[in-house]
Structure 1
Amino acid sequence: MKRTLLAGVLGSLLLCGPAAAVPGVDEPDTIHVKALRNPEIRKYKAILAGLDSFDRHHALAPKVPELRFRVAPRRGAGLPEALKVRIEGERDFVLPIALDAANRFTVPRSEAALDAEAELVLNQKRRLYQVMPEVRTPGLPENVRRLGDLRLECKVMFDIAKEEIPLLWVLTINSVLLTRDWCSFFAVKNDNATFSFKTGAPIVAAILSEGKRSKALETEDDEFRAGLGDADWGDEALVEFTFAGPAAAPAGATGTAAETTRTAP
């Protein structure tokens, strides 16, 4: 019952995006939680929290030189045309941001932006697009993700979320989880405790492998679900997914939603 209560509180409070879901109960001892669905990244202060998180936990993905962000369409929206991104704040503060061909970008540290209480601004409707942190080890194919990268991405996401939601919610979640590390919510050896990641296009399969071991992961449309806390799988384990159609793989895949199935003790 206690684990069910904790899961319910987490799912109810982590309403970081317009599609966040209130948890629902399928069985008396089982609860499904969805959180961080399409999280908003607006505040420059929140972006700095993500940069700090990346630096603290960089050992999870040592070959990734820096934290990047990516603008991606929400479900049903097309790719943005003539996309522009900038950091904008009080007293006419403006910091242009350079985008690559895949709509990825980095954000510099700036005391001036922090003093101006700046925010990330798109020249697109927010309801159609989302900005996501991205951690990807160089050299891997677009349909392959490294488990350590995914673990670091989880930590960055939650630390960004803590700056975007009200402080009271953060303190409440810390108290019920008995930790400030929200990713530890998934640190159980349980195939049902998973974090869901977007692939950018529909997939038909996802396989986690390390050495001679492999196992199929649960998939749904353009998502795969990976257990982040199982110490039996190291950071060098790889997730390889197969796209549903012959179209070229999208430029990058990012984690977007936390989803768990927990069974109460």
Structure 2
Amino acid sequence: MKRTLSMAIALAASLPAVAQDAAPAPTVPVETVAVSTIRDPALRPYRRMVRGLDMWEEKRALAPNASLRFELWTQDGKPAQPDGLQLRIAGDKVDMTLPLDADASFVLPRSQEAHDDDADLILNRKKDQFRWRPRVRTPGVPDNARRLGDLRLECEVSSAVRKEEIPFLYRAGAVAAGGLCHLPMVSYVYRAPKRLLSATIVSGERKAPLHLHDNGAGYMAPLRDKSWDNEALVMYEFAAGAPGG
């Protein structure tokens, strides 16, 4: 179930490594990497997925009141429809059904038996038809907003699962920086629930526009910028007539 990490190479002059308060673009082009949560890889071996649970426990301070689920998306970036979908953890000895919610999301359980059996997460569809991503949500956040600490924890969970897919040239830097989510040459693209007209990060009286991606399908979140605390909100302004998903 190995796939290449979805990355886009761009110049810092046109795609800054992180969206900040009116930060000027560097005059010398610098190679950056945009890690997209819009096209996440297919499902993984159970042992790798459990690394996401371990990171969730380790980094809970980023979103102490949040819940963690994993959600399924179609290959073209639309929310999966659960009708007819069946998900299970299967190995030589283990065969466990994972219930899918109405939004095609699921809770990943801990199972020592599945870990020892080197089981896989398996869908009753061709593996390339669907993608997954973690979903961290703190209660009380408006539907047109995301909490920055939740986004940071989503990145940590996803990176823990996908660490083998980091290109070799970035692995040493990721280790030194404390993980892929902290690399200075990496920017982080998050999918919006509907096409965006704008995205703005807000903390008290302070606010700043965020760089949109893929014609408003997503935006770049300032995960590494510690001047924005975990309670900061990314506020969405949706494009007129934008369909959901």
Normalising to structure 2: TM-score of the pair?
0.80
Tell me if the contact between 1:193 and 1:227 (Cα under 8 Å) persists in the aligned partners.
Answer: no
- Give the aligned partner of residue 75 of structure 1: 76
Q: 1:216 aligns with which of 209, 219, 224?
A: 209
1:204 partnered with 2:197: yes
The one-letter code sitting in structure 2 at the alignment partner of 1:131 is W
- Give the aligned partner of residue 172 of structure 2: 175
Partners in 2 of 1:49 and 1:229 — Cα distance?
22
Q: 1:59 aligns with which of 58, 61, 70?
A: 61
Per-residue Cα deviation, 1:140-183 (whole angstroms, up to 9, x for no partner): 23321000001111111111112x549xx67x644244344221
- Give the aligned partner of residue 235 of structure 1: 230
- Give the aligned partner of residue 130 of structure 2: 129
Equivalences, count? 224
Distance of aligned partners of 1:206 and 1:236 in 2 relative to their CA distance in 1, 3 Å threshold: same
Kindly state the Cα deviation for residue 236 of structure 1 after the two structures are TM-superposed: 0.3
> What SS does the aligned partner of 1:32 have?
strand
Matches for 1:1-265 after TM superposition, within 5 Å: 17=3, 20-21=6-7, 23=9, 29-35=29-35, 37-65=39-67, 67-75=68-76, 79-80=80-81, 81-91=83-93, 93-162=94-163, 165=165, 173-177=170-174, 178-186=176-184, 194-220=187-213, 221-246=216-241, 249-250=244-245
Partners in 2 of 1:209 and 1:40 — Cα distance?
33
Identity over the aligned pairs, expressed in percent?
Answer: 32
> What SS does the aligned partner of 1:38 have?
coil
Distance of aligned partners of 1:165 and 1:231 in 2 relative to their CA distance in 1, 3 Å threshold: closer
Aligned CA-pair RMSD: 2.7
Distance of aligned partners of 1:134 and 1:247 in 2 relative to their CA distance in 1, 3 Å threshold: same
Structure 2: which 5+ residue stretches go unaligned? 14-27
